[in-house]
Amino acid sequence: MQNKTVLITGGTGSFGKAMAERLFIKAEAKKVIIYSRDEFKQFQMQGYYNEDFPKVLRFFIGDVRDKERLNRAMKGADYVFHAAALKQVPACEYNPFEAVKTNILGAQNVIECALSNKVRKVVALSTDKAVSSINLYGATKLVAEKLFINANTFGEKKTVFSVVRYGNVLGSRGSVVEIFREQAKQGIIYVTDKQMTRFWWLMEDAIDFVLSSLQYMQGGEIFVPKLRSSYVVDLASAICKECRIRSMGIRPGEKIHETLISSDEAGRTYDLGWCFCIEPDNEYFDFGTMPMAMPVGLNFEYNSKLVHADDDEEIKEWVQEILTKV
């Protein structure tokens, strides 16, 4: 990343801010372009960082729906991290056309602009909800994954595209930790279902993983981190041991357990040691072999319930430990 120019779509979100800080403090990037549509968040971010790094950060107000503006912002970029999306499941269900415009057509714009500007590498952020999707948000991210993977077959092939698929980042904006801590002030924490499990990790680990994926990607892979999971009620109890925990019932579009790799993808999934990698299944795709790749087996499924440890006390201690870092 040293002396490279990087563009982050949705750059004022939790991921964008953390990645930008890593790039200009530790990686010594030449330029970090923050592309987002929220002028107030850009103003806040600019005031927080730009006094110390006025020559590194650049702020572009724009929407991934606006291809012309995005194309201008991307000129000269070596790498692109695509984090912009409509992510709230209920909002996407209620505003389906808007979800399609941002999550699908916006992804297409990122791809076409990257190809036009001969960007070296593009990493798109996806979600567990794209796996066996039962809500519109997941469906749009599934389509976006397909777009980015198959973009590697386009044009002069000077730009390579890959996907990073992960779930819940503790401490990110709007995360369950914020919600539970606010509810704890009233002495009651509400969960949707007491059997619900989720994968958890920290933003700093997500940044490390995305940068590692950028380093190793050949184009066309879906990188999936190796995460630990717990019951959601364990997280709630760790936040407030004295609070009562009430179940509200599962909401439309929600799953009891989170799946990052389905059994249908197992035949194309490899264990690289530091992560799992799902190879593309496009028959016209020329995909190289990852070094040290081991097939996971046809019966493999990466599910938050299946990987949950038997030792509940150990899991609760781990949840308590990671909460001290949020």
| Active-site amino acid positions | 129
Question: What residues have CB less than 8 Å from 238, skipping those under 6 apart?
Answer: 316, 319, 320, 323
* Contact residues for 19 (Cβ-Cβ < 8 A; gap 6+): 8, 81, 83, 207, 210
CB atoms within 10 A of CB 232: 24
Could you tell me where the DSSP H helices lie in 50-202? 67-74, 89-94, 96-100, 106-116, 136-150, 176-184
Residue identified by tokens 């563009």 is 7
Which one-letter DSSP state was computed for residue 244?
Answer: E
Give the integer Cα–Cα distance in Å for 265 and 271: 13
Within 8 A by CB and 6+ apart from 313, the residues are none
Angle among Cα 239, 242, 247 to the nearest 5 degrees reads 75
DSSP strands (E only) in the chain: 5-9, 31-36, 57-61, 79-82, 121-127, 160-166, 168-170, 188-191, 197-202, 222-225, 228-231, 244-247, 259-261, 269-271, 275-278, 294-295, 302-303
